[in-house]
Copies of this chain bind each other. A is one copy, B any other.
Amino acid sequence: MIRKIAQSAKDASRVLATLSTEEKNKALLSIANGIEKNKAKILSVNLIDIKNAKKNNLSPPLIDRLTLSPQRIKNICESLKQITKLPDPVGRVLSKTTRTNKLKIEKVSVPIGVIGIIYESRPNVTVDAASLCLKAGNAVILRGGKESINSNIALYQIMINSLRKTKVPWASIQMIKSTDRKMVNRMLKMDKYIDLIIPRGGVGLIQFVAKNSTIPVIKHSDGICHTYVDKHADIDIAKAVCFNAKVQRPGVCNAMETLLVHKDIADAYLPQMIDMFRNASVEIRGCRKTKKLVPEIKLAKEKDWATEYLDLILSIKIVSSEQEAINHIDTYGSCHSDAIITKDSSSADRFMKEVDSATVYVNSSTRFTDGCEFGLGAEIGISTGKLHARGPMGLEELTTYKYLIFGNGQVRI
């Protein structure tokens, strides 16, 4: 069954790769129309997922994630229309050269082919991922979380029905409807048909995929993001930026999870900062030195440093040097987003050079790691891998390239 899905996707991808921007945009608008028209149906199917989630005692944030509303459906359709307005990432001439033998060599962006996406339980990802892949000329195989399976299937049906009226083959969008993890394992072996797997989720899923996939993987893993307040920090900037990084939206991957503070500035900065956090109901888990300074807080355990809380919880560590901060990030971080607050340019330089993360900030909030904030227009997620795409992954990162060589009889001597 999985083989058939993968093969159909590959066949469709060949057709899709040859379509014009206009034809792809028409298909995206047709999907937006389809979803608008079927709003009531989607909402009623979504209620089944919500009921099941409540029956299974899912946490309120998880239930919120899988819940659709008229406004959220409107947002999905808006996002589809936005994508039609973005430039087509396919067919860009990345470089062009004529060699001394008159051979013309062009490096041109082309679709990747077939992309498998394994994601958590937000039904909007079903449409976002499919539409970004489609705009970049790729067929997609979707495999969403079991908690939103009914909503996903409904959205998938509407999408492929909407494609039937367009030049984009309906088989360009495929869904694995079984929630059995064995199916994922089989999908990960279809290297003959699938060109790329994007897993979005926690460490467990990412490791499972890395271990079992014979297909290239671009992981979208946890965000264990740090802010390091250097001894040369502007304390007002440190307070504003750290507060924002933790509190503005704690449930997302670019929120700060650990605050590192240089010992020379701890007395002047930390007690006030911790007060601000506690007033915003942030639970603080600090190292021994932090607890000495502010005894009311909890003591952090080793595993706190490696935890993505996605909640109003923050771990704090006082460090003796910038080197210790960099080493801490190297040991516990997830290569996502890390920041330094400092007025000293050489400390900033060093931090930016040595911290091995996708995005490294000076004097600003890690919350900016986002395709739209970076000007990419839209994103399929944040890559925490280093190959092909790093950080926010937009339409261009959903393409690859090929070399086209134009000759008139050249032979190699």
Contact = CB atoms under 8 A, between A and B. Distances in A.
B374 A403 contact: yes
Interface string A366-402: 0111000111000000000111101100000000111
A354 B14 contact: yes
Total identical chains: 2
A241 B409 contact: yes
Given A405-B361, A407-B361, A412-B368, A374 B105 contact: yes
A303 interface: no
A191 to B, nearest CB: 7
A85 interface: no
B387 A196 contact: yes
A368 B218 contact: no
Contacts of A234: 409
Interface string A141-156: 0000000000000000
Interface residues of A, number: 68
A404 B240 contact: no
B390 A402 contact: yes
A362 B362 CA distance: 49
A195 B207 CA distance: 15
B410 A364 contact: yes
A45 interface: no
A53 interface: no
A211 interface: yes
Contact of A387 (B362, B363, B400): B400
B387 A388 contact: yes
A75 interface: no
A171 interface: no
A344 B167 CA distance: 26
Contact of A359 (B99, B369, B403): B403
Contact of A360 (B17, B360, B373, B405): B405
Given A99-B375, A113-B386, A359-B403, A412 B244 contact: yes
Contacts of A364: 103, 405-411
Contact of A216 (B112, B216, B353, B404): B216
Given A357-B402, A360-B403, 18 more contacts: A14-B354, A103-B368, A196-B387, A207-B214, A216-B386, A240-B411, A241-B409, A245-B411, A248-B413, A356-B402, A358-B403, A360-B405, A361-B405, A364-B411, A365-B412, A369-B403, A386-B400, A391-B402
29 contacts: A18-B353, A99-B375, A103-B364, A112-B386, A216-B385, A218-B387, A237-B409, A240-B409, A240-B411, A241-B410, A243-B411, A244-B411, A244-B412, A245-B411, A356-B402, A357-B402, A358-B402, A359-B402, A361-B407, A362-B405, A362-B407, A363-B406, A363-B407, A363-B408, A368-B412, A374-B403, A386-B400, A387-B387, A388-B388
